[in-house]
């Protein structure tokens, strides 16, 4: 029986020794303390820029202000080549495949939400003249472009839009464009082939300064409160898709030219 106190004392001494060693232990792995990423200079531009695009499209890059200067040729070739159109078509095909599984109710409340810019319409003619997103955004130049109402449809998005109409979805167009651009936006959409939407929702005067994620979430919330079931949401920005009152399925179109928070 006398050996039990000795055993207990021995265990206490061992435990104290381990705790003291742990306290002075310095970990070998340390997490980075800055969000700044400096790419290796020895990486080929095309390889680096393809990885950069993956990071921005998956939202791993978070908020970003402009295309890296070394990636402007990469983005130009992507947007003007076959890859961009192919990527958009794949997204549209997955969207249609999902939509075909939705049981449409007779109450007319099954809805799908679309963004406008780089979702229904492509502003590539504008960005071709403005560095494919590498230039600082000029609101006056942008407003002049919108007023021309010349943005073409993204062909695969137009096919998706018309397919959803045939399936009897109610379509809502929810854009970050300003209310004073309503007539130009409606004209452009119609000229591009988009008709028969249930609602065209733009930013009002009271929405100025509201982050896109909040603005679009609030407008979707209004639809939900009106009894609509938002089955799908298509947009090129994560701020089109995230937040609250989100769709049952969201579909992200590619856009390496700009980021809207």
**pLDDT on residue 26:** 34
Give the count of beta carbons closer than 10 Å to the beta carbon of residue 229.
16
Q: What is the mean pLDDT of each run of 10 residues along the chain (261 residues)?
A: 47 44 34 46 89 97 93 98 98 99 98 99 97 92 98 99 99 98 99 99 95 98 99 99 98 98 91
Global pTM value: 0.84
pLDDT at 39: 58
- Give the end-to-end CA distance of the chain in Å, rounded to a whole number: 71
Q: Tell me the torsion sign for CA atoms 56, 60, 66, 72.
A: negative
Q: Where are the domains of the chain?
A: 45-252
- Give pairs for 54-61: CB < 8 Å, separation 24+: 56/256, 56/259, 57/252, 57/254, 57/255, 57/256, 59/238
Fold classification of 45-252 is Rossmann fold (3.40.50)
């Amino acid at each position: 029986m006398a050996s039990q106190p000795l055993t207990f004392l021995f265990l206490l001494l061992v435990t104290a020794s381990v705790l003291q060693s742990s306290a002075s232990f310095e970990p070998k792995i340390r997490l980075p303390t800055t969000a700044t990423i400096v790419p290796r200079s020895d990486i080929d531009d095309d390889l680096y820029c393809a990885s950069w695009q993956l990071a921005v499209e998956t939202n791993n890059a978070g908020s970003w202000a402009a295309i890296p200067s070394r990636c402007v040729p990469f983005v130009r070739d992507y947007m003007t080549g076959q890859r961009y159109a192919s990527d958009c078509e794949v997204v549209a095909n997955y969207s249609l495949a999902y939509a075909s599984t939705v049981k449409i109710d007779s109450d007319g409340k099954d809805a799908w939400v679309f963004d406008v810019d780089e979702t229904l319409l492509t502003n590539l003619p504008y960005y071709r003249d403005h560095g494919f997103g590498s230039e600082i955004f000029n609101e006056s130049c942008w407003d002049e472009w919108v007023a021309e109402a010349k943005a073409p449809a993204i062909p695969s998005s137009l096919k998706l839009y018309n397919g959803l109409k045939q399936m009897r979805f109610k379509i809502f167009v929810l854009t970050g464009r300003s209310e004073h651009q309503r007539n130009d936006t409606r004209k452009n959409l119609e000229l591009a082939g988009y008709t028969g939407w249930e609602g065209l929702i733009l930013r009002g005067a009271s929405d100025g300064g509201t982050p896109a994620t909040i603005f679009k979430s609030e407008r979707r919330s209004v639809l939900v409160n009106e009894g609509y079931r938002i089955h799908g949401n298509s947009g090129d920005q994560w701020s089109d898709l995230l937040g609250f009152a989100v769709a049952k399925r969201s579909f992200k179109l590619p856009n390496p030219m700009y980021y809207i928070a």
